[in-house]
Structure 1
Amino acid sequence: MTTYFFVAASEKFLTVEEPLDEILKERMRNYKENNKEIDFWLLKNPSFLQTTQFADLKAKIPSTPAVVLSTDKKFITFLKLRLEFVAVGEFEFPNAEIIDPFKVE
Protein backbone atom coordinates (compact mmCIF):
# COMPACT_ATOMS: atom_id res chain seq x y z
CA MET A 1 0.00 0.00 0.00
CA THR A 2 1.35 3.43 -0.97
CA THR A 3 0.22 6.74 0.48
CA TYR A 4 0.05 9.61 -1.98
CA PHE A 5 -0.14 13.22 -0.84
CA PHE A 6 -1.13 16.16 -3.02
CA VAL A 7 -1.81 19.85 -3.35
CA ALA A 8 -4.64 20.82 -5.68
CA ALA A 9 -5.77 24.06 -7.27
CA SER A 10 -6.92 25.29 -10.64
CA GLU A 11 -4.56 24.48 -13.46
CA LYS A 12 -4.21 28.19 -14.21
CA PHE A 13 -3.21 28.97 -10.63
CA LEU A 14 -0.58 26.22 -10.45
CA THR A 15 0.88 26.60 -13.93
CA VAL A 16 0.52 30.32 -14.71
CA GLU A 17 0.02 32.41 -11.58
CA GLU A 18 2.53 30.65 -9.30
CA PRO A 19 6.21 29.89 -9.96
CA LEU A 20 5.56 26.15 -9.60
CA ASP A 21 7.66 25.38 -12.67
CA GLU A 22 10.74 26.86 -10.96
CA ILE A 23 10.09 24.87 -7.78
CA LEU A 24 9.72 21.59 -9.67
CA LYS A 25 12.79 22.21 -11.85
CA GLU A 26 14.91 22.96 -8.79
CA ARG A 27 13.66 19.83 -7.05
CA MET A 28 14.38 17.72 -10.13
CA ARG A 29 17.90 19.14 -10.31
CA ASN A 30 18.45 18.33 -6.64
CA TYR A 31 17.17 14.79 -7.08
CA LYS A 32 19.45 14.24 -10.07
CA GLU A 33 22.50 15.51 -8.17
CA ASN A 34 21.68 13.16 -5.29
CA ASN A 35 20.75 10.17 -7.47
CA LYS A 36 17.27 10.15 -6.01
CA GLU A 37 14.28 8.75 -7.86
CA ILE A 38 11.53 11.24 -8.77
CA ASP A 39 8.63 10.94 -6.32
CA PHE A 40 6.43 13.84 -7.47
CA TRP A 41 4.29 14.51 -10.54
CA LEU A 42 2.26 17.42 -11.92
CA LEU A 43 -1.09 16.10 -13.17
CA LYS A 44 -3.67 18.15 -14.99
CA ASN A 45 -7.27 17.11 -14.33
CA PRO A 46 -6.45 13.88 -12.46
CA SER A 47 -9.14 11.21 -12.41
CA PHE A 48 -8.81 10.53 -8.69
CA LEU A 49 -10.41 13.92 -7.97
CA GLN A 50 -13.61 12.55 -9.59
CA THR A 51 -14.07 10.02 -6.77
CA THR A 52 -16.60 10.50 -3.98
CA GLN A 53 -13.69 10.76 -1.53
CA PHE A 54 -12.68 14.10 -3.08
CA ALA A 55 -16.04 15.51 -4.23
CA ASP A 56 -16.00 18.33 -1.65
CA LEU A 57 -12.39 19.26 -2.43
CA LYS A 58 -12.98 19.30 -6.20
CA ALA A 59 -16.05 21.51 -5.73
CA LYS A 60 -13.79 24.18 -4.18
CA ILE A 61 -11.54 24.39 -7.26
CA PRO A 62 -12.97 27.03 -9.63
CA SER A 63 -11.95 25.50 -12.96
CA THR A 64 -9.99 22.60 -14.42
CA PRO A 65 -7.95 21.21 -11.53
CA ALA A 66 -4.29 20.30 -11.40
CA VAL A 67 -2.33 18.60 -8.64
CA VAL A 68 1.20 17.97 -7.56
CA LEU A 69 1.14 14.36 -6.40
CA SER A 70 3.93 12.89 -4.30
CA THR A 71 4.82 10.12 -1.91
CA ASP A 72 6.79 12.69 0.12
CA LYS A 73 4.53 14.32 2.71
CA LYS A 74 7.16 16.92 3.65
CA PHE A 75 7.37 18.16 0.05
CA ILE A 76 3.58 18.55 -0.13
CA THR A 77 3.60 20.40 3.20
CA PHE A 78 6.31 22.71 1.80
CA LEU A 79 4.20 23.35 -1.32
CA LYS A 80 1.13 24.11 0.80
CA LEU A 81 3.09 26.69 2.78
CA ARG A 82 4.77 28.13 -0.33
CA LEU A 83 1.67 28.33 -2.54
CA GLU A 84 -0.87 29.12 0.22
CA PHE A 85 -4.10 29.02 -1.82
CA VAL A 86 -4.16 25.29 -2.51
CA ALA A 87 -6.11 22.38 -1.09
CA VAL A 88 -4.28 19.37 0.30
CA GLY A 89 -5.25 15.74 0.47
CA GLU A 90 -3.99 12.21 0.61
CA PHE A 91 -5.09 8.70 -0.26
CA GLU A 92 -3.94 5.13 0.02
CA PHE A 93 -3.39 3.19 -3.17
CA PRO A 94 -4.66 0.77 -4.24
CA ASN A 95 -8.23 1.33 -3.11
CA ALA A 96 -11.72 0.59 -4.41
CA GLU A 97 -12.27 3.97 -6.09
CA ILE A 98 -8.86 4.87 -7.45
CA ILE A 99 -7.68 2.44 -10.12
CA ASP A 100 -4.68 4.47 -11.33
CA PRO A 101 -3.38 7.50 -9.36
CA PHE A 102 -1.76 8.92 -12.53
CA LYS A 103 -4.78 8.71 -14.83
CA VAL A 104 -6.01 12.05 -16.15
CA GLU A 105 -9.33 13.00 -17.72
Structure 2
Amino acid sequence: MQTYHYVLASQHYLFEEEPFEEVLKERHRYYQGKNKEIDFWVVKQPTFLELPKMRAIKAKCPQPCAAVISTNPNFVTWLKLRLEYVYMGEFQTPSKAIPDPLASLAVL
Protein backbone atom coordinates (compact mmCIF):
# COMPACT_ATOMS: atom_id res chain seq x y z
CA MET A 1 0.00 0.00 0.00
CA GLN A 2 1.16 3.52 -0.81
CA THR A 3 0.55 6.49 1.48
CA TYR A 4 -0.37 9.72 -0.25
CA HIS A 5 -0.28 13.05 1.51
CA TYR A 6 -2.31 16.01 0.34
CA VAL A 7 -3.22 19.62 0.79
CA LEU A 8 -6.71 20.64 -0.24
CA ALA A 9 -8.14 24.09 -0.95
CA SER A 10 -10.69 25.82 -3.10
CA GLN A 11 -9.69 26.24 -6.71
CA HIS A 12 -10.39 29.95 -6.36
CA TYR A 13 -7.88 30.25 -3.50
CA LEU A 14 -5.15 28.21 -5.20
CA PHE A 15 -5.44 29.53 -8.72
CA GLU A 16 -6.60 33.12 -8.22
CA GLU A 17 -5.67 34.35 -4.75
CA GLU A 18 -2.30 32.68 -4.27
CA PRO A 19 0.80 32.76 -6.47
CA PHE A 20 0.35 28.99 -6.72
CA GLU A 21 1.94 28.67 -10.15
CA GLU A 22 5.09 30.32 -8.78
CA VAL A 23 5.10 27.97 -5.79
CA LEU A 24 4.99 24.96 -8.13
CA LYS A 25 7.67 26.40 -10.41
CA GLU A 26 9.87 27.03 -7.38
CA ARG A 27 9.45 23.45 -6.23
CA HIS A 28 10.03 22.09 -9.72
CA ARG A 29 13.33 24.02 -9.93
CA TYR A 30 14.30 22.69 -6.49
CA TYR A 31 13.65 19.10 -7.62
CA GLN A 32 15.61 19.62 -10.83
CA GLY A 33 18.55 21.07 -8.88
CA LYS A 34 18.58 18.00 -6.64
CA ASN A 35 18.01 15.56 -9.56
CA LYS A 36 14.84 14.41 -7.82
CA GLU A 37 11.89 12.86 -9.61
CA ILE A 38 8.63 14.83 -9.36
CA ASP A 39 6.50 13.20 -6.67
CA PHE A 40 3.51 15.52 -6.58
CA TRP A 41 0.41 16.05 -8.70
CA VAL A 42 -2.19 18.83 -8.85
CA VAL A 43 -5.72 17.47 -9.19
CA LYS A 44 -8.98 19.38 -9.61
CA GLN A 45 -11.98 17.83 -7.86
CA PRO A 46 -10.08 14.83 -6.43
CA THR A 47 -12.19 11.68 -6.36
CA PHE A 48 -10.90 10.51 -2.97
CA LEU A 49 -13.16 13.18 -1.41
CA GLU A 50 -16.20 11.16 -2.50
CA LEU A 51 -15.42 8.42 0.01
CA PRO A 52 -17.68 8.26 3.06
CA LYS A 53 -14.75 8.77 5.43
CA MET A 54 -13.80 11.99 3.59
CA ARG A 55 -17.25 13.65 3.71
CA ALA A 56 -16.38 15.86 6.67
CA ILE A 57 -13.22 17.12 4.97
CA LYS A 58 -15.05 17.80 1.71
CA ALA A 59 -17.75 19.69 3.60
CA LYS A 60 -15.13 22.02 5.13
CA CYS A 61 -13.51 22.93 1.83
CA PRO A 62 -15.18 25.42 -0.50
CA GLN A 63 -16.10 23.87 -3.83
CA PRO A 64 -14.87 23.43 -6.46
CA CYS A 65 -11.65 22.30 -4.85
CA ALA A 66 -8.22 21.14 -5.89
CA ALA A 67 -5.56 19.05 -4.19
CA VAL A 68 -1.84 18.63 -4.37
CA ILE A 69 -1.13 14.95 -3.80
CA SER A 70 2.36 13.68 -3.01
CA THR A 71 4.22 10.68 -1.69
CA ASN A 72 6.49 13.11 0.19
CA PRO A 73 5.06 14.17 3.57
CA ASN A 74 7.73 16.87 3.99
CA PHE A 75 6.66 18.55 0.74
CA VAL A 76 3.02 18.56 1.83
CA THR A 77 3.98 20.07 5.20
CA TRP A 78 6.02 22.71 3.36
CA LEU A 79 2.98 23.49 1.17
CA LYS A 80 0.74 23.78 4.22
CA LEU A 81 3.11 26.31 5.75
CA ARG A 82 3.58 28.16 2.47
CA LEU A 83 -0.08 28.37 1.46
CA GLU A 84 -1.61 28.66 4.93
CA TYR A 85 -5.35 28.29 4.13
CA VAL A 86 -5.37 24.64 3.10
CA TYR A 87 -6.44 21.36 4.68
CA MET A 88 -3.77 18.71 5.06
CA GLY A 89 -4.22 14.95 5.32
CA GLU A 90 -3.23 11.55 4.03
CA PHE A 91 -4.73 8.33 2.74
CA GLN A 92 -3.46 4.92 1.71
CA THR A 93 -4.12 3.24 -1.60
CA PRO A 94 -4.77 1.08 -3.49
CA SER A 95 -7.54 -0.41 -1.47
CA LYS A 96 -11.09 -1.48 -2.18
CA ALA A 97 -12.33 1.90 -1.03
CA ILE A 98 -9.73 4.05 -2.78
CA PRO A 99 -8.32 3.06 -6.16
CA ASP A 100 -4.87 4.28 -7.11
CA PRO A 101 -5.39 8.06 -7.46
CA LEU A 102 -2.69 8.35 -10.11
CA ALA A 103 -4.11 5.69 -12.43
CA SER A 104 -6.61 8.02 -14.08
CA LEU A 105 -5.53 11.52 -13.08
CA ALA A 106 -6.18 14.56 -15.15
CA VAL A 107 -3.01 16.24 -13.99
CA LEU A 108 -2.70 19.99 -14.43
TM-score, L = length of structure 1: 0.91
What stretches of structure 1 of length at least 5 have no aligned partner? none
Name the residue aligned to 2:21: 21
Name the residue aligned to 2:91: 91
Name the residue aligned to 1:58: 58
Q: Is the 8 A contact 1:4 1:70 kept in 2?
A: yes
Aligned partners of 2:47 and 2:99: how far apart in 1?
9
Give the secondary-structure state (helix, strand or coil) at the position aligned to 2:66: strand
Aligned partners of 2:30 and 2:84: how far apart in 1?
23
Alpha-carbon deviation of 1:65?
Answer: 1.0
Change (3 A) 1:2 1:10: same
Give CA deviations for 1:3-61 in whole Å, capped at 9, x if unaligned. Answer: 10000011111111111111111111121222211001110011111111211000011
State whether structure 2 residue 37 is matched by structure 1 residue 37.
Answer: yes
Aligned partners of 1:26 and 1:104: how far apart in 2?
23
Aligned length: 105
Runs of 4+ in 1 over 4 A off after TM superposition: none
Alpha-carbon deviation of 1:104?
Answer: 5.6
Give the secondary-structure state (helix, strand or coil) at the position aligned to 2:92: strand
Aligned partners of 1:87 and 1:60: how far apart in 2?
9
Identity of aligned residues (%): 50
TM-score, L = length of structure 2: 0.89
Task: Calculate the aligned-residue CA RMSD, in Å.
Answer: 1.5
Name the residue aligned to 1:7: 7
Name the residue aligned to 1:80: 80
Aligned partners of 1:41 and 1:90: how far apart in 2?
14
